Amino acid sequence: MSLEKIVAISNKYGANPEFVLAGGGNTSYKDSKYLYIKGSGTTLATITECGFVKMNRKKLAAMFTKEYSSDAAEREAQVLEDMMDAREKTELSKRPSVETLLHNLINYKYIVHTHPSMLNGMTCGAKGKEIAKELFGDDVIWIDIIEPGYVLAAKLKEEMDAYKASTGKDADIILLQNHGVFIAANSEREINKKTKYVFDKIESKITRKPDFKAVEFNKEKAALVAPAIRMLLKKANDAASSIVTFCTNKEVMNFVKDEKSFYPVSSAYSPDHIVYCKPYALYIAADDDMEKQYALIKEGIEAYVAKNGFAPKIVAIQNLGFFAWGTNKKNADICAEVFLDACKIGVYSEGFGGPLFMTQYMIDFICNWEVESYRSKVSLAGGAALRLNEKIAIVTGSAQGFGQGIADEMLKQGANVVIADLNYDLAKANSDNMNEKYGKNKTIACRADVGNEEAVTEMVYSTVLAYGGLDIFVNNAGIAIAGSLEEMTVPKFELVTKINYTAYYLCAKLASRIMKIQNKFAPDYPMDIIQINSKSGLAGSNKNFAYAGSKFGGIGLTQSFALELVPYNIKVNAICPGNLLNGPLWSDPEKGLFVQYFKAGKVPGAKSVADVREFYESKVPMHRGCEIIDVARAIFYIVEQEYETGQAIPVTGGQNMLN
């Protein structure tokens, strides 16, 4: 029952972003024999009973009687070995929290350790210790910044023994400088009561709260800067993949106003900030000339690497916002989230004497500590390498049908996919469903009127601000209106041309703008523009000339774009699917092409819609319509094949064969 209770407590505090940062923090439950501690790499918000590690308390206590090496690295390795040995035999596949020894020392049933930004405004404030004494008197223990692990545990034991000797009771609230708070009690009710007590006291000293309201910013500049940062950091980290998340708001704008304003977020407040963001953020001055801005960014990153021996994960641009880097979307977003926490602490610390960063010694210790290295690898690990691993793609017309299927197959292969469609509500609903299936923010939804240049620009820029660039543009949105010369009207003809032909030009223009920037900083990086054409782009189509003509024109554009963009390592190809007979374009009972062709008399002798379907199936040597997976495989081939551009690749089951 008590283990169930600590799960409930963990889930409650873990789900509150004001308490837990990037899934961190830890909790425990203990009885006289065993300590049940959160396992390393688990998340409080979702932890279950199996996420806790059962530890032998007697073995943990015995560690304080041992002599360990004076060398920090050797000592911590010895401590880790003994701590792992204290696990029960059923727990040998789990790694306990690094703060296990601290939990075992505190003589209460339940313990919650969190890193709330408001509280850390005090623990990371220059006058934090002084104000804590004023607020809490002898109700709490304050631990000055100290090496984590065994050294911290030994110091806490010393302070707790002194506290009990002085007060006659066990300490239940422990404030760690630059690190957060431990709150201990024998019931959930008492945990909640003590937490409220601590925060009510701290809030009385807060002079200002962070203002994260949306703010106007230069979206175009941010979108043109992001691909440069993405490629420069990819190179600096020697990474196989690279994702950049852009973030700005009113408070961020306050910090990036100038270098002096940036100081409160320029270094690390806590170990978490080091693990997820590196210890220092990079600030770059603004320049209205984009070439000069690119030079400043490149010089800034190179100087940062030369000074620190590693690349920055946060790059802030004056009067714009900041860019957070990761090898995948998940850890880029975590990096952004953690840096926003640093922004909160920077604001809250104003009420506690201003910012107090970790000491250089402690920063170096955390950077080289095996425990944090392990935690970083677990928390930021990506999935298995897939064919489109962390590629950034836009698929137009992907809210439903054929485009939705293409997007889904690309997601299966690891891509980040923008669901772009004129029907935004449906695109958003499908994007949300896909994120449930493939991972948070693996997709975003964009409203895409592909025939409107302003709308296409917005779509591309939104993509770049979410992911940092663009690798694959799939021009899938299309329209088919069948009819004979006498039946076709000029408005209908022009609509087909606008969506199937003119829109392809607009999309290629805006997509290649971003791709060219990536090429500028990573000339060997390959990118793709892919038009979903049709077999009707390879052979004329009776009483369907508007569609066929637009698709023939699309192949002309493909070949021309390919010649123009090949110097930028951008391949441009078309895929010409056969009839997707099972898809809504053909099979919709009211507007599908089977119905349209039957009404138009396109199939002589057809007495029903079923006859029309049978006619088209009989024309395919493989005796079936094209399927989404057939086209998806052609997309994968195009992306992987580095020696083809300007091609129109048939996927028609043998119905169209190239000479």
Tokens of residue 47, six digits: 């932890």
What is the C-alpha separation between 480 and 474, in angstroms, rounded?
Answer: 18
Tokens of residue 320, six digits: 């714009």
Q: In 45-71, where does DSSP find H-type helix?
A: 57-62
Tokens of residue 298, six digits: 């490149």
Q: How far is CA 149 from CA 72, 83, 161, 358, 509, in A?
A: 10, 11, 18, 16, 55
Per residue, the 3-state secondary structure of 64-99, as one string, reads HHCCCCCCHHHHHHHHHHHHHHCECHHHCCCCECCC
Is the separation of the CB atoms in 649 and 634 below 8 Å? yes
Is the separation of the CB atoms in 585 and 402 below 8 Å? yes
Tokens of residue 294, six digits: 């690119």
Annotated catalytic residues are: 547
The residue among 424, 326, 428 whose CA lies nearest residue 381 is 326
| DSSP structure class, residue 147 | -
Phi, psi angles (nearest 5°) of residue 387: -65, -30
Task: Give the three-state DSSP class for 481.
Answer: coil
Phi, psi angles (nearest 5°) of residue 13: -75, -35
Could you tell me where the beta strands, DSSP code E, fall in 341-447?
A: 392-396, 416-421, 443-447
Chain centroid to Cα 192, Å, comes to 32
Is the separation of the CB atoms in 496 and 479 below 8 Å? yes
The residue among 516, 513, 120 whose CA lies nearest residue 345 is 120
Q: How far is CA 384 from CA 30, 379, 381, 389, 634, in A?
A: 37, 15, 10, 8, 22
Give the pairing of strands 648-651 and 570-577. parallel
What is the C-alpha separation between 228 and 318, in angstroms, rounded?
Answer: 16
What is the C-alpha separation between 108 and 171, in angstroms, rounded?
Answer: 9
What is the C-alpha separation between 492 and 477, in angstroms, rounded?
Answer: 16
What is the C-alpha separation between 285 and 152, in angstroms, rounded?
Answer: 40
Report the interhelical angle of 401-412 vs 628-640 (nearest 10°): 50
Expressed in angstroms, the distance from the first to the final Cα of the chain is: 74
Task: Give the three-state DSSP class for 574.
Answer: strand
Name residue, tokens 């169209």. Answer: 656
The residue among 280, 561, 121, 333 whose CA lies nearest residue 131 is 121
